[in-house]
Amino acid sequence: MTPVLSICISTYNNCEHINNHLQEWLKSKNQNFEIVVSVNGSPDNTWEVLSQIKDERLKLYKNEENLGTLNGLYCFKYAKGKYILAMTDKDNLITDYLDKITDILEKTDFSVAKFLFDYNSSKIKVKKMPKSKILRKFCFCANHPSGFVYNREIFFKNDITNKVLDFDPIIRSFLTDYMSALMAQFGSVYYFKIPFVTVHSSKSPAIKVKKSLTYSHKDGNLYFEPKNRFLVYEATLKFLENIKISPLERLFFIKQKAEDLYFFNTVFYKNILKDRPLCEWYGISEEFAKSELSKDYGAVLFQNVLESDKFNSKIEKLFALIGLKHAVLKSKFKHKN
């Protein structure tokens, strides 16, 4: 029987965590889902341990080398279900809702959907998203990858894999956002307000979790470096050229992205640099933090907007600049409070 749902997980050096989750999820008697795990060149014994699990719903694959974030994308090609659920190896599922979810997925047609994390209500709500909000919710917003659901047939019919691979490699930290924004152009989009996907997080760097590049300035990581935030903004404008939206929607979207750019390059960035325990945990030197704190990226951003040739009209340029000014006021207010 072809499953309705394929849960696709890329895992690296996280044997105990992923093994515990799989053991728990496979206790479900539901036969309408499969779990596809791609072991991403992991140096630990993940492959050997997971190979001991005897359940036809579990499909294991192994890369000889670490493919980075692209492994999650390659994992999709092994899926057989009508829908693909993207998951990281840190996050969890509440399988009590699995029967209801697979039943909903069988009866609902969409290109892409998103589970809202840790939803506090026991009521299941399925909400169709208006087109006017889709780009603002999905395009280059640094969404966590877990919880996105893709229509497998639409995904491969429209060659989403190669479209992502053709994109500038420096932008691939936003892989989930790019895929979701592309998929939204080919059908309906839904929010699932269902307590199904739970996201692992740690507020304290003292908790011993795997190191990630989230707060690292090395390897061109987009989430941290302001210069790469500028690249994301340029990529967003480039992406908009291929999307059919009204001029007004385009203007509002540019305004939102400009505000995001300002916030992440100033208040958000500097708060990270000032958090010494966090910087120490992720290997960011005090010298580097001090040198970055002395830079006025807000001023650089304003100058980039004024001089950019990426805007097609003076009106758009002015509109973006107004958006940035509003962002300055909002960011200062948030920072003081």
Domains of the chain are 5-198 (3.90.550.10), 218-336 (no CATH)
Alpha-carbon distance values, 26 to 57, 106, 310 (Å): 8, 20, 50
Question: Average pLDDT, stretch 152-158?
Answer: 95
Percent of the chain with pLDDT over 70: 77
What pLDDT, on the 0 to 100 scale, is given for residue 200? Answer: 64
Whether the per-residue pLDDT at 114 is higher than 60: the answer is yes
List, for residues 216-268, the tens digit of each pLDDT value. Answer: 555 556 566 787 777 777 777 777 777 777 777 777 777 777 777 888 888 88
pTM for the predicted model, two decimal places = 0.79
Bridge partners of 33, per DSSP, are 5
Report whether 120 contacts 195 (CB < 8 A).
yes
What pLDDT, on the 0 to 100 scale, is given for residue 229? Answer: 77
What pLDDT, on the 0 to 100 scale, is given for residue 211? Answer: 46
What pLDDT, on the 0 to 100 scale, is given for residue 223? Answer: 61
What pLDDT, on the 0 to 100 scale, is given for residue 195? Answer: 80
What pLDDT, on the 0 to 100 scale, is given for residue 210? Answer: 43
Average pLDDT value for the chain = 79
Q: Flag the least confident range among 5-14, 42-51, 236-245.
A: 236-245
- Rounded to an integer, what distance in angstroms lies between the CA atom of residue 183 and that of residue 5? 17
Report whether 7 contacts 34 (CB < 8 A).
yes
What pLDDT, on the 0 to 100 scale, is given for residue 206? Answer: 38
Question: Average pLDDT, stretch 306-312?
Answer: 64
- Rounded to an integer, what distance in angstroms lies between the CA atom of residue 235 and that of residue 229? 10
Considering 21-35, 130-144, 318-332, the range whose residues carry the highest mean pLDDT is: 21-35
Residue 269 phi/psi, 5° resolution? Answer: -60, -45
Question: Sorting pLDDT into bands at 50, 70 and 90, what band is 62?
Answer: confident
Position of tokens 């849960």? 7
Whether the per-residue pLDDT at 33 is higher than 50: the answer is yes
Whether the per-residue pLDDT at 179 is higher than 80: the answer is yes
What pLDDT, on the 0 to 100 scale, is given for residue 243? Answer: 72
DSSP string, 263-310: HHHTHHHHHHHH-HHHHHHTT--HHHHHHHHT--HHHHHHHHHHH-S-
What pLDDT, on the 0 to 100 scale, is given for residue 171? Answer: 63
Q: Which pair of structure tokens corresponds to residue 119?
A: 């939803």
Percent of the chain with pLDDT over 90: 24
Question: Sorting pLDDT into bands at 50, 70 and 90, what band is 86?
Answer: very high
